[in-house]
Chains A and B, each alone.
Chain A
Amino acid sequence: MADLINLTIDGIPVAVPRGMVIVDAAKKIDNDIPVFCYHPKLKPVGMCRMCLVDVGTPKIDPATKQVVRTEDGKPVIAWMPKLQTACTTPVSEGMAVRTNTKQVLDARNNVLEFLLTSHPLDCPICDKGGECPLQNLTLAHGPGLSRFEYEAKQHNAKHVPLGDLIFLDRERCIQCSRCIRFQDDVADDHVLQFHDRGRHMEIVTFSDPPFDSYFGGNTTDICPVGALTTADFRFKARPWELDSTPSVCTHCPVGCNISLNTRLETRTGGHEIKRVMPRQNEQVNEIWTCDKGRFVHHFTRAEDRLTHPLVRDARGKLVESTWEAALQLVADKARGARVSGVIGDRIANEDAHLFGSLFSDVLKDGAVAMSPAIPAAYADIARAYGVGKDTDFKQLGKGDTILVVNGDLEESAPVWFLRLRQAVVDRGAKLVIAHDRSSKMHRYASRIVTYELGMAAHWASEQTTELSAELKSARNVLIVFGDEKLSAEGARSLARSLANILIESGHAGKANSGLLPLYPHANTQGVFDMLPATTVTTGKVDVAWLVGVGNAADVPQADFTVVQELFLTDIANNADVVLPALSFAERDGSFTSGDRRVQRFYRALPGLGQGKPDWWIIQEVAKRLGATWQYHGTSEVFAQMAQHNPYYAGLSYETLSQAEPQWPPVGRADLYYGGTAYDNSGGIGSRYAAPAEQSGFNSSLEPVVAPPVDMEALQHLPHTLYQDGELIRRSKVLSGHVRAQRKEAETA
């Protein structure tokens, strides 16, 4: 990394890596060169001409090939005759850049005057108004008046649906092609292009279905004008009315950092999420999020949210009750009884820790398990041989091998798909895929293995020696795996074989190497980490206690069933007591992502009705059973947990809330640079070390025998992003996609 280039920008010396363009070099010293088409995450094209600067290089004497110097020894600068685009000009040794000459300032003014010739200037009704690069840069650099005829303005269609999620306003578009380049270079869904040329150039989609991409929402963040807006947010609120709360997406193991934008609604008299925006975390989601994460939020204010405790009355009907009565009833039933607890893998660490403690410390006769059960069968292996603590996907490239086994990255962990795809396509990592069917990731694989349905574990156990030999020479080995079509035993066997491959090829317990499990939700690892190892009770128990359980197969048979839920699901509808919980947006807590990054999320909305956070409910029952717990908030629960859970030792809410400066900088005043993704407030979280990284851990091979193919597991549907479920069902904008994927699954 010693290869630094020295240059001066407005006389200020700066040293940056070779290959960096002038815009980025200037950004390093907080010189904000205005741009529209340039984006630090996309390849430069130099289309908008907004970034014109004066560039010179040291004058070379043609005879001596030496730098010409003035009398006082300073190099003479040969200024280029015309202004250069700072976004496409790489820095060079001794370069001088001027960004504040009259010529440069005039150029900015003139480019803006041109861009505005046919811009509708409908800022008062534009969703981007208030956070619009064109608006801001016009104010900073543009002319107050136009010399062009108002009557000659070109008018174009203003409400063009590019798909069911994204709308295009053709007359606002300034043809920067950021959206096209994002779809081409980052998402690899080539569904947007220019059509025609010159004054008639416009953005089109001709794909079927149109603008079909899991990542389309990101184009609205990087659009420097109000041309692209989401079906969900358009005309819903003005950006300056919104409050922003840092949060973490709950829908897949990536744990994308998000900001919840909320507003007080006079109509409903309460706060609502108006939109979900990516929050920068270069270690996790950079500045992206998938469309599910962006649009699924409507469940938080769905009309059918539970708002009161419900208790089954003498006639067998669930009727509204008080917290006191409901909690007392649960405590009375649980006291001295055989209790089987099940907790879903969306539930926060703090709730899971207290639920686990309830079974280990308070209840005399009980067992606790995670739902879904299959990941619980291998989460210990995924943890032990998980990616090293200092793993950074951006470091993966040439010399590294990414092995994807039995999972579809784009469907199960969309943002990991984006990032690992770039490791392969842009930086040259080798990709090997083994699966029973094709996926989008297959496009980039240098080797593909296809096995029969349900044979993942067999394949891995048979190939261990061969693969280990092949991977020995790789610099790093990242193994992504899923549990599709496998029983719990099969999934464990697969994970164990893959761990063996890491050990045998010499990559266990290292940074940028390890297992990366495609868990179903955001906190599968966290909930597993929180629960004590208990023997699962079989047969009928006295009390079943379910916290956020969505899978009916995981519900134990019981005389009395308690459910903590957001909705009156089928499971809740069959319970004897239903306790209204709060969603992630209405409380604080933490999640542990699939790559073991522990991250905090914060309360963005007031609780709905009488709903309470799950940890509070558990504590209240525990108190009634004699526990002396006195937690006032999740921070105290986390602190207590970190004292006893070795993996989380040293972590606290303070450490998790630390944010570091990120590159490229986004979300500041210069929205034109990175787009409207939020900068990181609330913390970038912290990954705990994988046991295999720690001294004293015995990384030894374990022989694996793959269990027979499980006929029932073969019936499991492969995971798809818009798979129908209690939460996604309540998002109207996504309902078309949910229906389409349900239909696809039924016909498959």
Chain B
Amino acid sequence: MTLKDKRSADIEIILSKYPTKRSAVMPLLYLAQEEYGYCSDEAIREVADLTALDPTEVKSVVGFYTMFFEEKTGQYVIEVCDDLPCALKGADAFVHHCERKLGVRAGQTTPDGKFTLRTVMCIAACDRAPVAQVNREYRYSLTPDGFDKMVDELKGTV
């Protein structure tokens, strides 16, 4: 099943929003990432086909933007901000806590494929630092305990 087979209606809607196909490259990559969990080589070629771009050009877009994943991620992608305001509120120590809790380093995925931990640059919620996004959903004013609870909850939801 290709992306075209699975999400043809969504693809049509996305393509119809732009005067040229190439403009749809980013929303289509998000769609592909949603479908496959990451921007696989296959996904990149499919998007290239849909946008009439060379796969090299699509690969370059994926490589430039940090929110496109080039490798398989865990079911939950936890992105903790460690930029300056968050760091002032203890983000570095918080990231270490997360690493200990999950048993992986930032940038890695847990062996059970459940969680990927990443550090990111500012995600525009400095007033409630430290802050993280879990599959794009904001979690504010995080504490070690709160994090442990969240992880345990997410583990239980499967």
| Residues of chain A whose beta carbon lies under 8 Å from any beta carbon of chain B | 189-197, 204-208
Contact = CB atoms under 8 A, between A and B. Distances in A.
Nearest to B63: A195
A194 B53 contact: no
Contacts of B58: 206
A26 to B, nearest CB: 33
Per DSSP, are chain A's interface residues mostly helix, strand or loop, or mixed?
A: loop
Interface string B44-80: 1100000001111111100110000000000000000
Contacts, number: 41
**Pairs of residues from A and B, 10 with the lowest C-beta to C-beta distance, nearest first:** A193-B60, A195-B63, A206-B59, A190-B54, A206-B56, A206-B55, A196-B63, A207-B56, A193-B56, A205-B56
Give chain B's interface secondary structure class. Answer: helix
Interface of B: 41, 44-45, 53-60, 63-64
Given A190-B57, A194-B63, A207-B56, 13 more contacts: A190-B56, A194-B64, A195-B63, A197-B63, A197-B64, A204-B59, A204-B60, A206-B44, A206-B54, A206-B55, A206-B56, A206-B60, A208-B45
B27 to A, nearest CB: 20
Contacts of B64: 194-197
A207 B63 CA distance: 15
Contacts of A189: 54
21 contacts: A189-B54, A190-B56, A191-B54, A192-B56, A193-B56, A193-B59, A194-B60, A194-B64, A195-B60, A195-B63, A196-B64, A197-B64, A204-B56, A204-B59, A204-B63, A206-B44, A206-B54, A206-B55, A206-B56, A207-B55, A207-B56
Residue from A189, A190, A193, A204 having most chain B Cβ neighbours under 10 A: A193
B43 to A, nearest CB: 12
A457 B58 CA distance: 42
B120 to A, nearest CB: 14
A207 to B, nearest CB: 5
Contacts of B53: 190
Contacts of A207: 54-56
Nearest to A207: B56
A192 B63 CA distance: 13
A624 to B, nearest CB: 61
Among B45, B56, B60, max chain A CB count under 10 A is at: B56
Contacts of B63: 194-197, 204
A194 B45 CA distance: 17
A208 B54 CA distance: 9
Contacts of B45: 208
Contacts of B57: 190, 193
A555 B48 CA distance: 50
A579 to B, nearest CB: 49
Nearest to B55: A206
Contacts of B55: 206-208
Contacts of A191: 54, 56
A727 B56 CA distance: 33
Nearest to A205: B56
Residue from B41, B45, B59, B60 with most neighbouring chain A CB atoms (10 Å)? B60
A197 B60 CA distance: 10
Nearest to A208: B55
A477 B45 CA distance: 40
Nearest to B65: A197
A189 B64 CA distance: 20
A163 to B, nearest CB: 11
Contacts of A204: 56, 59-60, 63
A206 B49 CA distance: 13
